[in-house]
Amino acid sequence: MSDRETTDFGKVAVLLGGRSAEREISLLSGRNVLAALRAQGIDAQAFDPAEKPLWALKDEGFARVFNMLHGRGGEDGTVQAVLEVLGIPYTGSGVAASALAMDKWRAKMVWQSAGIPTPPYQAVDTRTDWGRLVETLGLPLILKPAHEGSSIGIVKVDHADPQQLAEAYAEAARHDPLVIAEAFIDGMELTAAVVDGRALPLVRIVAPGGNYDYEHKYFSDDTQYFCPSGLPEAREARIRAQALAAFQVLGCSGWGRLDMMLRDDGQWFFLEANTVPGMTAHSLVPMAARAAGMSMETLCLAILKGAVSQHVA
């Protein structure tokens, strides 16, 4: 990249850290992005909203923002709204799409209405009839906070024991007052990265015991990743096309990641959309990008370019 091209971006803030439950991962992701941008001569600087207010971005002369804040406060439309008011272009989806994708319950409603397959689900609370829930959704069940990521607060329930179900709900509710129960899909775990209007090669995930939890996502070397996924070419093409549709129907733009399960009978189900995916050493978007011929530096540059005029006139 020429000196002219790097200076065209101006001073770039990489938002990282923050105050969400995913702060630790955001710091790891942000530092990787920071290194990739600086390697290309871009004037990129770390900015942690937990340490200073967002309006300091304007005071300090930042021209663009590369948002790597995971979870609530960074991925839910909140920071996007502030950046809109400040008039600073930023990476990723806009206010409404960010808020919708972060809300797993409402995102699933939109997918259902658009014919995008997603596991059967139900919002639950302390008044839920657990026996009827099991009759409706079957076992095993997954209980999860509606507004968390990185598998935080997710509990799998294998038995129709009301006490066990109530305890699983209580654990999920510690992280979010809105909790959903979702039918467990037994099958192959896949993820589709979307960058600049294109669905990248699928990544197939094989976690120890099928448990792709917080530890196995970010810190364990026992999880296996396959990209190319090994699926028949025609099937992968259909899944990638629908992944892009699932991303776009939520109003998402720029870049993101969709997580899904593929059953043995060939039916796939979308679990959730991530509008600020991880960019750590174990993260999936950089893996998919490498399979598409993009280095980490090229990937970060492509994402940053999308911030130039995406949301701010």
The reported pLDDT for the residue numbered 163 is 86
State pLDDT tens for residues 196-220.
999 999 999 997 765 544 444 444 5
Instruction: Reduce the DSSP state of residue 64 to 3 states and report it.
Output: strand
Question: Are 11 and 59 spatial neighbours (Cβ–Cβ below 8 Å)?
Answer: no
CATH architecture of 121-183: 2-Layer Sandwich (3.30)
| Every domain of the chain and the residues it spans | 3-91, 100-116+186-296, 121-183
Q: Which of 130, 213, 119, 132 is nearest to 169 (CA)?
A: 130
For residue 129, the tally of other CB atoms under 10 A from its CB is 11
* Contacts of residue 277, Cβ cutoff 8 Å, sequence gap at least 6: 193, 255, 256, 257, 283, 284, 285
The reported pLDDT for the residue numbered 209 is 62
State pLDDT tens for residues 245-300.
999 999 999 999 999 999 999 999 999 999 999 998 888 999 999 999 999 999 99
The yes-or-no verdict on residue 313 having pLDDT over 50 is no
* Contacts of residue 149, Cβ cutoff 8 Å, sequence gap at least 6: 22, 70, 71, 75, 102, 272, 274
For residue 95, the tally of other CB atoms under 10 A from its CB is 18
Q: pLDDT confidence of 8, banded at 50, 70, 90?
A: confident
Average pLDDT over residues 6-19: 89
Mean pLDDT, the chain, rounded, equals 90
Query: Strand 224-226 relative to strand 12-15: parallel, antiparallel, unpaired?
Result: unpaired
State pLDDT tens for residues 99-145.
999 999 999 999 999 999 999 999 999 999 999 999 999 999 999 99
**Helix H or strand E encompassing 25:** helix 23-38
More confident residue, 22 or 246: 246
CATH architecture of 100-116+186-296: 2-Layer Sandwich (3.30)
Active site residues: 22, 150, 218, 257, 259, 272, 274, 278
Q: What is the CATH number of domain 3-91?
A: 3.40.50.20
Instruction: Give DSSP secondary structure letters for 111-141.
Output: HHHTT-----EEEE-TT--HHHHHHHH-SSE
Q: Which of 206, 311, 209, 222 is nearest to 262 (CA)?
A: 206
The reported pLDDT for the residue numbered 150 is 53
- The reply to whether 100-116+186-296 and 121-183 are identical in fold is no
